[in-house]
Amino acid sequence: MNLTFRKLNLSMTMKNNLKNIIITGGAGFIGSNLAKKFLSEGTEKILIIDDLSTGNKNNLIGLNNIEFIESRIEDIENLEKLFKDYDFCFHLAAGVGVQYIMENVSKALLTNIEGTHVIIEACKANNIPMLITSTSEVYGTSSDKVWTEETKSLIGPPTKLRWSYAASKLIDEFLVLSEYNDNNLNPIVVRLFNIIGPNQVSDFGMVVPKFIEAAIQDRDIIIHGNGTQTRSFTWVNDVIEYFYLLSNKKLYGEIFNIGQTEEISIKELAELIIKLSNSNSKIVYRTHEEVYGSKFEDPMRRTPSIDKIVEATGYEPSMTIENMIKEIIEYKKINN
Ligand SMILES: NC(=O)c1ccc[n+]([C@@H]2O[C@H](COP(=O)([O-])OP(=O)(O)OC[C@H]3O[C@@H](n4cnc5c(N)ncnc54)[C@H](O)[C@@H]3O)[C@@H](O)[C@H]2O)c1
């Protein structure tokens, strides 16, 4: 579980050229941290559009120079006019989280396809570059040991509804890259692998906040499946650093994995969380079918190659899983 650090982090030296930015989904976990980062780097104005379906306005408390519109992106009239005078759009609004997707399949699909389409049109009309947040889910159950940006997708059948999220995000990738191919848009595609951080909420099925909240309260930690499935977790501030560098470096027309190569099984994760929070919680196992019904399946591994993004930005992920968990436990003890 040890990380090796290959290079120094160079981002501190990169000047911010983005004065006015748009963040869709900016009241969410990643979006709110992104807003903080750009404001601290001198960005003067941020337009946030969020329907608060999974986000929370409290994430934006204390931030200045934010214009907030509470709405579904799909429902805004005159989006093209609204986007005038902005330099860049980070498009994060989406149905997110396994539990949320399984409970809102159609709504999430429409947001991810229709919503992304209207954002693309508004960016095109104003000649604004955009970054879209795709997901490691697009690789499906690929058996390749490490997933590079060229790895073939192995998404399950549409009867397994959990793959709807992956399929819609893959369509988003095709939508922006085809516009790039036609010289209509400057997009950056990032595929995120299990991002974690202090203000991520447990309500929509995210494993780390769910386990930590249970551990702090000495409740049972419920593992879906047998716990041997592995994941790699990445610190939200590292993700933000990558967004900052990719957008300022104008690395358009490319797909980048963003994640970490350190793997941990879900059982080991639960044990680590119990140890680090001095918890009396017990681990309990439930099958995926019990939790989500028969329309669900889960990949056993999910590990990215991050060579491409490290080479392009000069930046390495900065945190071990143990330190990430420690920080989240401290935050949740005070804030929950
Ligand atoms: N967190 C992860 O591990 C992870 C992994 C892969 C991809 N992603 C992607 O990163 C992006 C941000 O995810 P997050 O983890 O911050 O989740 P989040 O749920 O905290 O953020 C999503 C935000 O979008 C808003 N939203 C949803 N539908 C909307 C709509 N129709 N109109 C306007 N706003 C809407 C929500 O209220 C929320 O604030 C998403 O696109 C997600 O698919 C995240």
Our answer on whether the CB atom of 122 is closer than 6 Å to any ligand 1 atom is no
Domain containing 307 equals 19-196+234-261+301-318
**306 assigned to some structural domain:** yes
Helix spans in the chain (H): 29-40, 79-82, 98-103, 105-110, 116-126, 163-181, 207-216, 236-249, 266-276, 288-292, 307-313, 321-335
Residue 260 has pLDDT above 50, yes or no: yes
Query: Rounded mean pLDDT of 210-237?
Result: 95
* pLDDT tens digit sequence for 168-191: 999 999 999 999 999 999 999 999
Number of domains in the chain: 1
Query: What six digits make up the tokens of 119?
Result: 């954002």
Beta-ladder partners of 107: none
Q: Is the CB of 236 under 6 A from ligand 1?
A: no
Distance CA 196, CA 236 (A): 6
Mean of pLDDT over the chain: 92
In a domain, 132, yes or no: yes
pLDDT, position 134? 97
Residues 6+ apart with CB under 8 A from 96: 28, 54, 204
Q: What is the number of the ligand 1 atom nearest to the C-alpha of 53?
A: 37
State in Å: Cα 92 to ligand 1 middle.
5
pLDDT for position 296:
67
Torsion, Cα of 65, 70, 76, 78 (10° steps): -20
What pLDDT shows up at residue 101? Answer: 82
Picking from 45, 40, 48, 41, the residue whose alpha carbon sits closest to that of residue 20 is 45
Smallest CA separation from ligand 1 atom 41, residue: 92
Neighbours of 278 (CB within 10 A): 10
What pLDDT shows up at residue 276? 98
- Give the model confidence (pLDDT) of 83-124 as tens digits: 999 999 999 999 887 778 888 999 999 999 999 999 999 999
Q: Backbone dihedral region of 140: left (phi > 0), alpha (psi from -120 to 50 degrees) or beta?
A: left
Q: Distance between CA atoms of 39 and 94, rounded to whole angstroms?
A: 23
- In-domain check, residue 52: yes
Kindly report, residue by residue over 22-70, the tens digit of the pLDDT. 999 999 999 999 999 999 999 999 999 999 999 999 999 999 999 999 9
Q: The domain that contains 39 carries what CATH number?
A: 3.40.50.720
Specify if 159 maps to a domain.
yes
73-77, 147-151, 179-183, 286-290: the lowest-pLDDT one = 286-290
Confirm whether 282 is domain-assigned.
no
- Rounded distance from Cα 25 to ligand 1 centre (Å): 6
State the distance between the two ends of the chain, measured CA to CA, in whole angstroms. Answer: 29
User: pTM (2 decimals)?
Assistant: 0.94
- Residue carrying the six token digits 């969380």: 273
Structure tokens at 314: 């000069």
Q: Is the pLDDT of residue 6 over 50?
A: no
pLDDT at position 1 is 38
Q: Which residue's CA is minimally distant from atom 44 of ligand 1?
A: 192
Residue 134 domain flag: yes
**Would you state the pLDDT for residue 290?**
80
Verify whether ligand 1 is closer than 6 Å to residue 31 (CB atom): yes
Counting from 1 in the atom list of ligand 1, the atom nearest the Cα of 195 is: 3
262-271 pLDDT tens trace: 999 999 999 9
Cα-to-centroid distance, 125 and ligand 1 (Å): 24
Q: Which atom of ligand 1 is nearest to the CA of 194?
A: 3
In a domain, 82, yes or no: yes
Please state, in angstroms and rounded to a whole number, the distance separating the CA atoms of residues 286 and 199.
Answer: 27
In ligand 1, which atom is closest to the CA atom of 56? 39
Q: Which residues are catalytic?
A: 165
> Within a domain: residue 180?
yes
Q: What percent of the chain has pLDDT over 90?
A: 82
Pocket test for ligand 1, best of 56, 82, 92, 324 (most atoms within 8 A of CB): 92
Pocket lining: 28 vs ligand 1, CB cutoff 6 Å: yes
3-state secondary structure (DSSP) of residue 46: strand
Looking up tokens 């939790």 gives 291
What was the pLDDT predicted at 256?
98
Q: Which of 32, 36, 70, 96 to mutate to test the pocket of ligand 1 (most atoms within 8 A of CB)?
A: 96
Answer with the residue of higher pLDDT: 225 or 181. Answer: 181
